[in-house]
């Protein structure tokens, strides 16, 4: 049974069909890539999974149970954490305080020393423990991305949704990110669903890849299978990174 499954999900915005009868499944323990051109519906899919958007039809199941009755604030307690395409931090708070926001876990809010230890462990894992008491504002973009990942890890999720984590990073940083995501999956026993435009990154670290175009799923399979699919080449890969 998949850990995450979208079944015939449709989401409209007025006359625009952002997701059109999309079905996909993510197996427990894998890194799954979700790719497609701009406007394909990738972030909309993330927002449906995390209950920021309600689908017009279809279902989203996580760990064998529907998510449709779960309020957005309850999704993290179910075991799902995410990062955002545009980094969403509280700039006036310290780095540690931002990560502490993530200690709303499957067992409820962690408190006191336990919460601080969990947050500091997450910061240490991403190599930023030395910034704990500094304001979150003013750091390089790559550092902000790592703070956001630390906050997600502090929630102790089963499923981590990464929305364009390589955006704004240098080629060297992208290579390091791929190694980090693979190591993080193993170290935290995570399942990862990754939205990303850097094809080399997606194809290097993903176990499976799902492809959207104009709100429809046009392909799914291993990275090699997807790269050879004529529909994918025409819709996305042929456009380059």
Q: What pLDDT score was predicted for residue 13?
A: 96
Q: Collect the ranges in the chain with pLDDT lower than 70.
A: 106-108, 236-241
Regarding pTM above 0.75, the answer is yes
Q: What pLDDT score was predicted for residue 236?
A: 59
Tokens of 111: 């408190």
pLDDT in tens, 94-153: 999 999 998 877 666 777 888 999 999 999 999 999 999 999 999 988 899 999 999 999
Alpha-carbon distance of 180 to 76, in angstroms, equals: 22
Complete DSSP assignment for 28-69: TT-EEEEE-STTSSHHHHHHHHTTSS--SEEEEEETTEESTT
Domain ranges of the chain: 29-55+71-209
Closest listed residue to residue 76, CA positions, set 154, 192, 193? 154
**Contact at 8 Å (CB) between 83 and 163?**
yes
Q: What pLDDT score was predicted for residue 184?
A: 95
- From residue 68, alpha-carbon distances to 47, 48, 195 in Å are 12, 9, 22
* CATH for 29-55+71-209 (3.30.230.10, 3.40.50.150, 3.40.50.1820, 3.40.50.300): 3.40.50.300
Closest listed residue to residue 88, CA positions, set 34, 31, 152? 152
C-alpha count within 13 angstroms, C-beta hemisphere, residue 174: 17
Tokens of 166: 């390589």
DSSP state of 152: H
Closest listed residue to residue 32, CA positions, set 186, 162, 198? 162
Alpha-carbon distance of 170 to 31, in angstroms, equals: 22
41-77 exposure pattern, b = at least 16 Cβ within 10 A, e = fewer: bbbbbbbbbbbebebeebebbbbeeebeebeeeebbb
SS3 1: coil
**Phi, psi angles (nearest 5°) of residue 206:** -85, 140
Nearest 5°: the CA angle 143, 193, 124 is 35
């Amino acid at each position: 049974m998949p850990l995450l499954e979208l079944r015939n999900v449709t989401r409209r915005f007025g006359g625009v069909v952002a997701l059109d009868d999309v079905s996909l499944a993510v197996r427990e323990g894998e890194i799954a890539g979700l790719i497609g051109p701009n406007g394909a519906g990738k972030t909309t899919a993330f927002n449906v999974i995390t209950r920021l958007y309600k689908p017009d039809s279809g279902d989203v199941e996580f760990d064998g149970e529907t998510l449709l009755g779960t309020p957005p604030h309850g999704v993290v307690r179910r075991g799902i954490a995410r990062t955002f395409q545009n980094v969403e931090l509280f700039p006036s708070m310290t780095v540690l305080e931002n990560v502490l926001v993530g200690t709303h876990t499957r067992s409820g809010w962690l408190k006191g020393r336990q919460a601080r230890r969990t947050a500091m462990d997450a910061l240490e894992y991403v190599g930023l423990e030395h910034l704990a008491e500094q304001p979150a504002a003013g750091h390089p973009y790559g550092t902000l991305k790592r703070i956001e990942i630390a906050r997600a890890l502090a929630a102790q999720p089963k499923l981590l949704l990464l929305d364009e984590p390589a955006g704004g990073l240098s080629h060297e940083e992208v290579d390091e990110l791929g190694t980090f995501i693979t190591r993080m999956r193993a170290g935290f026993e995570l399942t990862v669903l990754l939205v990303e435009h850097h094809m080399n990154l997606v194809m290097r670290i993903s176990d499976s890849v799902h492809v959207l175009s104009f709100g429809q799923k046009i392909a799914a399979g291993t990275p090699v299978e997807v790269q050879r699919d004529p529909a994918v080449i025409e819709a996305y890969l042929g456009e380059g990174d």
